[in-house]
């Protein structure tokens, strides 16, 4: 896929280190971690689980309400470039949400969409029609980017918000992570290299080049391509050599001009060894297209593992680097992988502010 005329014009974020895009990215760049002890969830050793919560949300709030609250903040912020100039603009919404897992209700998508609509209306915003809801975990945001690009190309919308949210803080979810040896900690069922469960919401506003020109919208970056892959080796114990991730990265890198290399890589690496090994195999295959295969940026070091919010949040972080001038160059590759088979990547060409 090669969505050459799609531009990123806005972003929003709500994380454990900031209630806003600018605050979250500033804290992430400074290396400020939002990790705290969970007030009532403990591991098998009786130690409080380390998590990365959004501090303004009340402990004990159910998962759907948390996701909706995070999404309302992020979507409202991302929509700001369109707040005044285009009252009749057709704007759609594509959601990336968690895959089914213990601790989440079976009707999570329906509950979250309904609560999001109420939250936006409470703030005086008309909720955009939901074009698709993709409950596929970490890499869902890349599938959402592709769905949004298709909707814009088909003329079903003039602009599209790609938003994702997740929260790993439910006690049943934490117990499940521990039983799978994915929880960061020192217990017998923990992994010293495991993930720190977090929560976040993020949103990206995409517009066609025509819409940007008509409304004179500043552009943060151009979406060059989206690549998706499917990893056949996902059960624990199987050796994953990065087949699915290679497929996703190769698809995204196909739009990179000849003799150019990606300047920055931002990913959802979360401390788990399996993810590190998967990317190590993949990097061997695409190293000639990267300025530095080992110089990736992994924001989970600060805001924790944010699941389905990972893709839009990493894109938002990459866009901020270009906006503030600390990016290594214009080309940035963002990638991520779900706990299931889905893998995704997106290539952006960042532009200076005001372009």
44 and 147 in a common domain: yes
Q: What pLDDT is attached to residue 238?
A: 72
Q: What pLDDT is attached to residue 239?
A: 80
237 and 151 in a common domain: no
Give the dihedral sign, CA 11/14/19/23.
negative
121 and 57 in a common domain: yes
150, 180, 215 - which closes a domain? 215
Instruction: Supply the range of the domain harboring residue 169.
Output: 6-215
Q: What pLDDT is attached to residue 180?
A: 87
Separation between Cα atoms, residue 316 and residue 295, nearest integer Å: 18
136 and 16 in a common domain: yes
- Domain count across the chain: 2
265 and 117 in a common domain: no
234 and 89 in a common domain: no
Residue 203 belongs to some domain of the structure: yes
Q: What pLDDT is attached to residue 2?
A: 43
DSSP for residue 15? B
251 and 172 in a common domain: no
272 and 185 in a common domain: no
Closest of 234, 246, 229 to residue 182, by C-alpha: 234
Per-residue tens of pLDDT for the chain, all 355 residues: 445 579 999 999 999 999 999 999 999 999 999 999 999 999 888 889 999 999 999 999 999 999 999 999 999 999 999 987 566 789 999 999 999 999 999 999 999 999 999 999 999 998 999 999 999 999 999 999 999 999 999 999 999 999 999 999 999 999 999 988 889 876 676 677 889 999 999 999 999 999 999 999 999 999 999 999 999 987 666 788 999 999 999 999 999 999 899 999 999 999 998 899 999 999 999 999 999 989 999 999 999 999 999 999 999 999 999 999 999 999 999 999 999 999 999 999 998 654 5
* 3-state SS assignment for residue 269: coil
Residue 355 belongs to some domain of the structure: no
Residue 1 belongs to some domain of the structure: no
């Amino acid at each position: 896929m090669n969505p050459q005329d799609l531009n990123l014009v806005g972003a929003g974020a709500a994380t454990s280190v900031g209630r806003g895009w600018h605050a979250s990215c500033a804290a992430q760049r400074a290396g400020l971690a939002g990790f705290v002890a969970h007030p009532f969830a403990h591991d098998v050793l009786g130690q409080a689980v380390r998590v990365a919560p959004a501090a303004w949300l009340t402990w004990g709030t159910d998962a759907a309400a948390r996701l909706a609250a995070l999404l309302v903040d992020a979507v409202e912020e991302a929509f700001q470039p369109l707040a005044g100039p285009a009252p009749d603009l057709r704007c759609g919404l594509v959601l990336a949400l968690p895959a089914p897992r213990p601790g989440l209700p079976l009707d999570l998508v329906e509950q979250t969409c309904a609560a999001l609509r109420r939250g936006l209306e409470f703030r005086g915003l008309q909720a955009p029609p939901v074009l698709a809801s993709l409950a596929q975990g970490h890499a869902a945001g890349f599938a959402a980017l592709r769905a949004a690009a298709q909707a814009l190309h088909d003329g079903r919308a003039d602009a599209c918000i790609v938003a994702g949210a997740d929260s790993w803080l439910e006690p049943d979810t934490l117990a499940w992570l521990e039983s799978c040896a994915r929880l960061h900690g020192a217990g017998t069922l923990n992994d010293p290299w495991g993930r720190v469960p977090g929560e976040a919401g993020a949103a990206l506003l995409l517009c066609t080049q025509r819409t940007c020109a008509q409304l004179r919208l500043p552009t943060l970056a151009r979406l060059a391509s989206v690549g998706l892959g499917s990893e056949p080796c996902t059960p624990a114990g199987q050796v994953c050599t990065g087949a699915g991730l290679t497929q996703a990265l190769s698809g995204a890198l196909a739009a990179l001009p000849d003799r150019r290399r990606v300047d920055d890589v931002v990913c959802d690496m979360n401390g788990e060894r399996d993810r590190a090994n998967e990317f190590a195999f993949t990097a061997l295959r695409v190293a000639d297209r990267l300025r530095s295969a080992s110089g990736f940026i992994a924001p989970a070091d600060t805001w924790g593992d944010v699941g389905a919010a990972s893709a839009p949040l990493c894109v938002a972080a990459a866009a901020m680097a270009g906006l503030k001038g600390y990016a290594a160059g214009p080309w940035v590759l963002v990638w991520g992988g779900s706990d299931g088979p889905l893998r995704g990547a997106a290539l952006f060409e960042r532009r200076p502010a005001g372009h």
